Structure 1
């Protein structure tokens, strides 16, 4: 099984740097990353992520901020519907995960890498964190900073379940597997 963990976000906009911080923590401890799992800090380079995904992955696990109207620092594990990605609008100034997956859909068809996004990525999960602050500024707010260690631990649990072949449903659940 091939899994890509992608930290997404803008480190110049406070809590939007959450995904990058989680990826940095994982990259600092490569021995803790299981075989078959790649970790990248995508930041705001969504176009690069789309091209990377053309290599084909069973699972893309995006780590990003996610608004779910919960207290800042709350973590969520969500499953993205790949069929919805084809309808997302592309914005060259801000490549959200939806826009990246829409671009991937077209790239996969155009390059013959697969029949759209489903041909190159089997499943897309999002480990999201409720932000407190998204205004320009460097550094995470205290509740989001405190959630980084739990997010790293949660990723370990999710990756373990995926690699063990456990079938779990994460779509729109507002909980992280224990």
Structure 2
């Protein structure tokens, strides 16, 4: 039987498990085939496609695979925020959703994160692009999420095993309003004290670097030159993008699609 919570599971972690000759690890896609009971969760989840979030072991040495359903917005909050969205299955209740790679290159996992405040005019560019990408068919290893001003959530999400993170944001660089750029920031700089309800990308990256035990994913920023800039001290909110920034949303969607394609093909992607 699949379960949403299991207090005795998260005691030790393994990295992989082999099912039908295929090695599954964090990020692998699987189909759910619950067999141990026929409760309401099993009936609802049977046949669904999910992504492995972790492979864990309980006190008795039994292996359990934690998964998050594909398309579930709860995955946007990372493991720390997936209560009620993570399900545990025995390995025999899963089947790989894709054939073995036959020794080919590992599948690149990409996070596309829209960031910004929708109540501060052009600062809402990132969320607007994330919403537009919701109507685009992207490969299963590419995850799109609107993080808004949830800097802490994004910091933890950057630790979830992605190879590349594309941050979509308003980025003033002195260019014509609506101009798009691809920037590769220095992730070795910045302090680790982001505000709980603010989104300073430099501080978010610094916090993620501080929290994690390994390297961060490669970070690329798809930035748009704003026309209307606000600092948050204004007496009124401004909802909606300026005309040139709004017009750049569709172009940004195409740019993200192009970058994703290049990254998945293993091509060199340089700032531009």
Q: Which TM bucket (shorter chain)?
A: 0.7 to 0.9
State how far apart, in whole Å, the 1-side matches of 2:194 and 2:157 are.
19
Give the corresponding residue for 1:90: 193
TM-score by length of 2: 0.56
| Count of aligned pairs between the two proteins | 158
Give the corresponding residue for 1:111: none
State how far apart, in whole Å, the 2-side matches of 1:15 and 1:94 are.
16
Name the SS for the 1:125 alignment partner: strand
Give the corresponding residue for 2:233: none
- Give 1:89 shift: 5.1
Give the corresponding residue for 2:153: 48
| Cα deviation code 1:40-90 (max 9, x no counterpart) | 000000111111222111001000000110110000001122222xx3352
Give the corresponding residue for 2:268: 167
Output aligned runs, 1:1-178, within 5 Å: 1-29=108-136, 32-84=137-189, 87-88=190-191, 90-92=193-195, 94-108=198-212, 114-115=213-214, 118=215, 121-135=216-230, 136-170=237-271, 175=272
Q: Where does the alignment leave 5 or more consecutive residues of structure 2 unmatched?
A: 1-107, 231-236
- Give 1:35 shift: 2.5
Structure 1 residue runs of 4 or more that deviate by more than 6 Å after TM superposition: none
State how far apart, in whole Å, the 2-side matches of 1:91 and 1:100 are.
6
- Give 1:168 shift: 2.6
Give me the CA root mean square deviation.
Answer: 1.4
Name the SS for the 1:28 alignment partner: coil
Using CA pairs under 8 Å that are at least 6 residues apart, name the structure with larger relative contact order, 1 or 2.
1
- Give 1:130 shift: 0.2
State how far apart, in whole Å, the 2-side matches of 1:46 and 1:79 are.
19
State how far apart, in whole Å, the 2-side matches of 1:89 and 1:35 are.
32
